Structure 1
Amino acid sequence: MFLKVNIQIFISSIILLLVGSLLHFAYDFFNNNFIVGLFTPINESVWEHLKLAFFPILFWWIVFYWRKNKRYNLKRNKWFLGCLVSIITSIIIILGGHYFMKFGLNIHSVLIDIILFYIAIFTGQYAGYHVYNFSEFSKIDNIYFPVVAIGVIIIVFIILTISPLKLPVFEDPKTNTYGIYKK
């Protein structure tokens, strides 16, 4: 069972890495379509690149639940808590790793960012699976907490794509602009 789970986490991580990599180019491919830009990076800011992890992870956990729920009798509340943990873990690793490399070690490398992205996805998937398998979800024994938290994250991504704060995490380092309207 342990080997099967680790293979599943590895395969899902590879798929998420590939999907995230393809999404990197979606906004340009679809001629800067506003709707596409809400869910894919619109510029080279660190914030926008978090979408490369967030939306594919969310989609994977939802589709897996939808397709495999009956076969594995998945516990909905724990499943979506695992999803939330996977998302948050990945985001923290991407942000923390990027800024540690940039400011702590003065390293600016696309290759390092790609490796960091994979580490974040893999670690997030493993953490989410671990929470699903081993959490005692009796204190918040409903689906509302993870679903509301994920919904809030989606809303925050949309709002901060349209109207980002004037902080370095939101700034496109190539154009020195912010957000979808390039202010």
Structure 2
Amino acid sequence: MVQFINDFLKKSNKLGFLFVSVIGTLLHFTFAWSGQTPVIGLFSAVNESTWEHMKLLFFPMLIFIIIEYKKYGTSSRDLLAARTLGLFCGLAFIPVSFYTYTGIIGKSFTVLDIAIFFVSVFLTFYISTKLLQKPLRVTSLSAVILLCVLTALFFLFTFNPPHIQLFLDPVTFRYGI
């Protein structure tokens, strides 16, 4: 059973990393490609704020978690919780690393911003895999609640973001759509 889980995770992590990276990259452009359709903006970046870039990890990973859980959820009772906690860590990495490096250097660089995204995807899978190696105290219900709350916040803050730095578009100096 342990070997099956290890083999499953290696395959699933590679597929997941590729899926989240490609879909997340595309979501950077889909709002503009759609002619700024508000429904598309719920799931994709509507501006260049750090918050909107967190969507690029969140929504593809949410889709991956749902697909993976439907297919393999019975193999591990902690799969949903581990993936959700990994996602939470990956999401946290984005603003922490962005504001740390821009605070030190004094400006942002596109290549570093892109690297942060790919590292956050990697961390999401890495941390969730490590969490699966021991029993978790987080229930699947708690994971579902956290995913629902995060989804609601991404939706809400697309149209009505707080006026703080995390939500400020550094290009237009506007918030949200």
Runs of 4+ in 1 over 4 A off after TM superposition: 1-4
Shift of 1:120: 0.8
Shift of 1:74: 3.1
TM-score, normalization by structure 1: 0.86
Tell me how far apart the structure 2 counterparts of residues 87 and 43 of structure 1 sit (CA, whole Å): 22
Which residue identity lines up with residue 162 of structure 1 in the other structure? Answer: F
Tell me how far apart the structure 1 counterparts of residues 67 and 55 of structure 2 sit (CA, whole Å): 18
Contact 2:157–2:176 (CA<8 Å) still a contact in 1? yes
Tell me how far apart the structure 2 counterparts of residues 48 and 165 of structure 1 sit (CA, whole Å): 13
Match of 2:29 in 1: 25
Contact 1:48–1:170 (CA<8 Å) still a contact in 2? yes
Tell me how far apart the structure 1 counterparts of residues 170 and 31 of structure 2 sit (CA, whole Å): 17
Residue-pair matches, total: 173
Shift of 1:3: 7.0
The CA RMSD measured in Å over matched residues stands at 1.9
Which residue identity lines up with residue 161 of structure 1 in the other structure? Answer: T
TM-score, normalization by structure 2: 0.89
Shift of 1:11: 3.6
Which residue identity lines up with residue 128 of structure 2 in the other structure? Answer: G
Tell me how far apart the structure 2 counterparts of residues 65 and 8 of structure 1 sit (CA, whole Å): 11
Which residue identity lines up with residue 127 of structure 1 in the other structure? Answer: I
Match of 2:147 in 1: 150
Aligned pairs for 1:47-58 within 5 A: 47-58=51-62
Tell me how far apart the structure 1 counterparts of residues 117 and 20 of structure 2 sit (CA, whole Å): 10
Shift of 1:4: 6.5
Which residue identity lines up with residue 36 of structure 2 in the other structure? Answer: N
Which residue identity lines up with residue 43 of structure 2 in the other structure? Answer: F
